[in-house]
Structure 1
């Protein structure tokens, strides 16, 4: 699919996209997970599963659903504690708590293997899942990955955690959206992208956000990536000030891959520059599909 094809595909307003890709939910043995879905499963291709960041939700991926849904089954979850999804049980959870929830959800949907796309905090969850269940991961695409503070001294982890929790108490969901959403995009981002980031951030559940804050403090993505030997790509927007290229370079090194830097994009690059990011996701998924077919031919 070419970039021009992606451009033509963006025909829906965000309001229309929410209707076309409505919220769904499924009950597993352990919890309820909310999600959005595009396309159907194709026997000869792969399912793409998208995991959002700490201030977002499944709806943030609707542009990718719009462009990729014709060729792939595309699923985006609301992480535990977001949208319609049940919270994890631990007050101070670790990445494996969310990876277990992801496994439950994929089991309930009957998805044995998938391409995992993780943005920011979602990259931490994706990395933990891949380290535990590598056989279920066709490929791991990490966009502006948050590394977590698990390898930092205890006082640093606590300071980072407590500062974010205090900000949540002070501002609430609406205040976070108003005060913090501008940091998610580059200075040149359009108002449509800015509004979409604000809308998603304003919908967060404070309790779920607080648990995710503990997850961020406890996680060590770089360590998890050393246990996954499958296909990995790491990309970041050149204008990302939240997980800047220098920080993402360390994640790429841990995965033993080169960092891809997307010109002109900020932290929420897939919202700000959906054409480029959809093309990136499609190209990565196509490579995973080709690899899957080649492996199948040799078995």
Structure 2
């Protein structure tokens, strides 16, 4: 699939795009009639990275490069993102995404992993980690998790969010939407390169997959998939204005997990503070191995 935005690469993203192709290349699998795209690097214990609603597998590039010497790093493009086939349901829930994740892990021979969900990816991560395959997740890491608007108490917000996002998609188009929304993903101190990389990733969205993800965000509730049987940790950028530190702290408590801030970061901390995020994930991998040996 070609993306027009590739022809608009700025000097700020050119180096990252070259590193992406060289060090974290895309691969695809054929899974029961569906194509699944992902990126992979490194070797060792598996860590699986799930991106947010306005992003893709490439957003994990710098984190993956830091982790590749310690782990087998796999970042998927969610169904309907990148070259991944959308799901069949027009309004899928987190369990539908988790089923595709299971197919991918089976095809890659991954029997156990540290599972990481950023933003909307946290909903799929929790759904998978609480399902029948929960023994395959040694540790769950949620970064700025989106709780979703599926709970009956959030019906008014649900309709507002759905209408706002669909309206932006239809009226602005993906490129203009990326221009407008990208600054809100980062802290005020973010580098120009971080802003450009957020924008580049967002501009590559596919309308069909994005619409399905909007339905996931608006129709499901992360806590519906609790409780969890494995250790869980929640991290949030201190300047996150989308999933605020306080909301993430409350969510961590509801999940029985730990909570920690990421300094000098907004919502897209894997892009803004990749070394810090990679350090947190390296610790999670180490803890998962220690737990397995007890």
1:90 alignment partner in structure 2: 89
Deviation per CA, 1:73-108, whole angstroms, max 9, x where unpaired? 000000000001000011111111100010011111
Once the two structures are superposed, residues 185-212 of structure 1 have per-residue CA deviations (whole angstroms, 9 ceiling, x without a partner) of 0000000100000000000001110100
Q: Which runs of 5+ in 2 are unaligned?
A: 1-13
Residue 188 of structure 2 is aligned to residue 166 of structure 1: no
C-alpha contact (below 8 Å) 2:231/2:257 kept by paired residues? no
> Is the Cα–Cα contact under 8 Å of residues 221 and 251 in structure 1 kept in the other structure?
no
Q: Tell me the equivalent position of 2:293.
A: 293
1:68 and 1:278 in contact (8 A); partners too: yes
Query: C-alpha separation between the residues in 2 aligned to 1:204 and 1:102?
Result: 19
- 2:37 aligned to which of 34, 44, 49: 34
Deviation at 1:127, TM superposition (A): 0.5
Cα drift, residue 149 of structure 1: 0.6
Deviation (angstroms), 1:218: 1.2
Kept in 1, the 8 Å contact 2:165–2:214? The answer is yes
Matched, 1:200 2:201: yes
Counterpart Cα distance in 1 of 2:226 and 2:275? 28
The alignment's TM-score, normalised by the length of structure 1, stands at 0.90
Paired residues for 1:236-251 under 5 Å: 236-251=236-251
State the Cα distance separating 1:239 from its structure 2 match.
Answer: 0.0
Counterpart check, 1:274 vs 2:277: no
Task: Output the CA distance in 2 between the equivalents of 1:120 and 1:29.
Answer: 28
**Secondary structure in 2 matching 1:13:** helix
Listed one character per residue, the Cα deviations across residues 7-66 of structure 1 (whole Å, up to 9, x for unaligned) are xxxxx93123212211110111241110100013x3xxx200000000000011111111
Mapping 1:142-153, distance limit 5 Å: 142-151=142-151, 152-153=153-154
SS state at 2:130 partner: helix
Question: Which residue, 14, 17, 20 being the options, matches 1:18?
Answer: 20
The SS at the match of 1:56 is coil
CA RMSD after TM alignment: 1.3
CA, structure 1 residues 30+233, in 2 after alignment: closer, same or farther (shift >3 Å)? farther
Which structure 1 residue ranges, 4+ long, deviate > 4 Å from structure 2? none
Whether 1:233 aligns to 2:236 is: no
- Tell me how far 1:274 sits from its aligned partner: 1.0
The answer as to whether partners of 2:266 and 2:272 remain within 8 angstroms in 1 is yes
Aligned length: 278
| Unmatched segments (≥5 aa) in structure 1 | 1-11, 295-299
What is the CA–CA distance in structure 1 between the aligned matches of 2:143 and 2:237, rounded to whole Å? 8
CA shift for structure 1 position 269:
0.6
CA distance in 1, matches of 2:232, 2:138: 9
* Aligned counterpart, 2:4: none
> Is the 1:30–1:104 Cα contact (8 Å) retained in structure 2?
no
